[in-house]
């Protein structure tokens, strides 16, 4: 079983353990009963299919029931995962994006006009077009057929998908922009996730943090701490935002 040390395992399945051996799992415990979270990666042989299971309330056979059975009746060891990120909420995607971009080396295969300023590890895919006066600070990724600028500013930890159109004077940083999305002129997008096939009208922007505390959001009536002071917005696929929205 692969596990990861976390500050608060109540959002995961907490792993009960002793001397490197899994003793049980508790799904989303109400109290902090362990510092280890189960990340759902296992190395098991086919004998697990001989374990009788009951269908869960969700109408499924749960692999965690295999793990609980093995932990009770056999010896199951765990190891600590090095690179693992939770994926429960949208802002977790920004953490993954930062990590993946930090692993990349520069590769420029697209078209870059004179007068652009590109520094740091930047990937520009084939057939992308970077227009004059554009600044890109890596780590960053520009997808195939994307058109950037003129005079745009792409900051660190920005991923721009295929076929995107980032127009004049747009500034983007620490964000994920889905494929075939257009961001019209003079927009400012930071710490945000924008889906595919979106349109954001001119002079629209997210704000920088104004206060020294974490951003909290309400999901299904429950207030969730994002554990970050910098979180802009999330737009689903095919969303349209008219101009001058702040």
As annotated, the active-site residues are: 185
Q: Which two tokens stand for residue 23?
A: 């003793």
User: Which DSSP letter does residue 11 get?
Assistant: G
**Long-range contact set of residues 194-199: C-beta below 8 Å, sequence gap at least 24:** 194/235, 194/239, 195/235, 195/236, 195/237, 195/238, 195/239, 196/161, 196/237, 196/238, 197/237, 197/238, 198/235, 198/237, 198/238, 198/239, 198/240, 198/241, 199/239, 199/240, 199/241
By three-state DSSP, how is residue 165 classified? strand
Radius of gyration of the chain from Cα atoms? 22
């Amino acid at each position: 079983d692969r596990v990861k040390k976390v500050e608060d395992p109540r959002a995961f399945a907490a792993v009960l353990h002793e001397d490197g051996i899994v003793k049980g799992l508790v799904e989303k415990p109400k109290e902090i009963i362990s510092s280890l979270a189960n990340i759902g990666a296992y190395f098991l042989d086919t004998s697990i299919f001989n374990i009788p299971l009951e269908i869960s309330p969700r109408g499924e056979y749960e692999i965690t029931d295999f793990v609980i059975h093995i932990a009770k009746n056999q010896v199951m060891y765990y190891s600590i995962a090095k690179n693992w990120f939770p994926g429960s909420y949208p802002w977790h995607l920004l953490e993954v994006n930062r990590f993946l971009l930090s692993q990349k080396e520069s590769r420029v295969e697209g078209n870059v006009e004179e007068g652009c300023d590109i520094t740091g590890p930047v990937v520009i895919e084939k057939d992308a077009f970077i227009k004059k006066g554009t600044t890109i600070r890596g780590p960053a990724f520009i997808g195939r057929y994307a058109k950037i600028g003129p005079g745009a500013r792409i900051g660190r930890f920005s991923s721009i998908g295929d076929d995107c159109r980032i127009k004049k004077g747009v500034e983007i940083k620490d964000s994920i922009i889905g494929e075939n999305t257009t961001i019209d002129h003079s927009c400012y997008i930071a710490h945000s996730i924008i889906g595919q096939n979106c349109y954001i009208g001119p002079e629209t922007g997210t704000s920088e943090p104004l206060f020294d505390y974490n951003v909290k959001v309400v999901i299904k009536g429950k207030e969730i701490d994002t554990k970050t002071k910098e979180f802009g917005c999330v737009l689903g696929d095919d969303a349209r935002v008219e101009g001058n929205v702040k």
